Amino acid sequence: MDGQEERDGHAVRRVRRSSRCLRKGVLYLVVCALVTAILVYAPIFTLQKIDLNGANYLTQDDIMHIAQIHKGEPLFRIQTDELQRTLVKDLRIESVAVHRRLPNTLEVDVVERRPVASVACDYGYLDFDRTGLVLSGFQSLKGVQIPLVTGVTVHDLYIGDTTKDPRTLKVLDFLARLDDDTLNQISEINIQDPKAVMAYTVGSIQIRLGDLDKPDEKAELTNDFIDSLKTNKHKIEYVDFSFDAPFIRLKDMPVEKEQEENSEGGMA
């Protein structure tokens, strides 16, 4: 009998321990639910502000419209991963990262797709980013200060498509390496002859770029040249970057002087 009583006592204690563990588990779940409810529904943790970083064209209202989020909704109900996937579907956005910042802010870091050139197409003109993606289309040229690529026409492309034309991709890659200020000063770039690409500034100065096989080097030279025009007092006819050493041809320069400078590969 003593053994039976001992076994019964152990069983009772196990039941009591199990009951205490169950109560603790239930209490823990209740506390977690309360904390979650406070975090999700407390007025202090509702979306009131979007900090948008890296945007030149997009606005906070654009972000809220694309993502279909609204001020006042619970911050912790906004799934940042899902929000990123939604935002990056917009053609204007190349990449994006979204983070919550307590108590009431979403921090959105974007890399925008920058239009770097317009190219003639079957029905008008298309704006391309650096990767050859079509960002927008127009029946006539608009007033945006990006270069017009001439000497080529793209076919059967629409917004959201990507060109596979090697000449177009090569010049887009070059243009994407230019500073914004430089890009805005280039009005046209002709790629009809891939080995003798020519750009023109808004001031009608010709920039002879050659074959664009060294896009980084050519872009750096172009940036420096455009920047130098701010203080340059000479009238320039063209600059030639197709040689190892750049050459500048001033207007009214004697032919003999041009031949001499060109043979030396120097700057006039």
pLDDT tens-digit series, residues 224-248: 999 999 888 888 999 999 888 888 8
**Residue type at position 37:** A
In whole angstroms, give the CA distance from residue 268 to residue 177.
26
Owner of token pair 């004697």 = 254
Beta strand residue intervals within 117-235, DSSP E: 117-121, 124-128, 134-138, 148-153, 186-190, 197-201, 206-210
- Distance of alpha carbon 32 from alpha carbon 27, whole angstroms: 9
Residue 28's pLDDT is what?
Answer: 64
Q: What's residue 3's pLDDT? A: 54
pLDDT digit string (tens) for 178-229? 999 999 999 999 999 999 999 999 999 999 999 998 999 999 999 999 999 9
pTM for the full predicted model = 0.72
Identify whether the C-beta of residue 238 lies closer than 8 Å to the C-beta of residue 205: yes
What are the angstrom distances between the C-alpha of 246 and each of 77, 190, 205?
59, 19, 15
Contact status, residue 172 vs residue 132, Cβ threshold 8 Å:
yes
pLDDT at res. 34: 59
- Residue 98 dihedral angles phi and psi, to the nearest 5°: -125, 135
Q: Would you state the structure tokens that stand for residue 161, as one six-digit string?
A: 């498509």
Report percent pLDDT > 70 for the chain: 77
In this structure, how many other beta carbons lie within 10 angstroms of the beta carbon of residue 87? 21
Per-residue model confidence as pLDDT tens digits over 6-53: 555 555 455 556 666 666 666 666 566 555 555 555 567 889 999 999
pLDDT of 149 over the 80 cut: yes
Cβ within 8 Å of residue 130, ≥6 positions away? 114, 116, 172, 173, 175, 176
CA distance 172 to 212: 11
At residue 132, the 3 state secondary structure works out as coil
pLDDT band at 267 (very low <50, low <70, confident <90, very high): very low
What is the model's pLDDT at position 140? 87
Report the chain's mean pLDDT, rounded to a whole number: 84
pLDDT reported for residue 56: 87
76 pLDDT band, cuts 50/70/90, is confident
Q: How far apart, in Å, do the first and last CA atoms of the chain sit?
A: 117
pLDDT at residue 146 is higher than 50: yes
Q: What pLDDT score was predicted for residue 36?
A: 58
pLDDT per residue as tens digits for the range 91-125: 999 999 999 998 899 999 999 999 999 999 999 99
pLDDT above 50 (res 268): no
> What is the structure's pLDDT at 32?
60
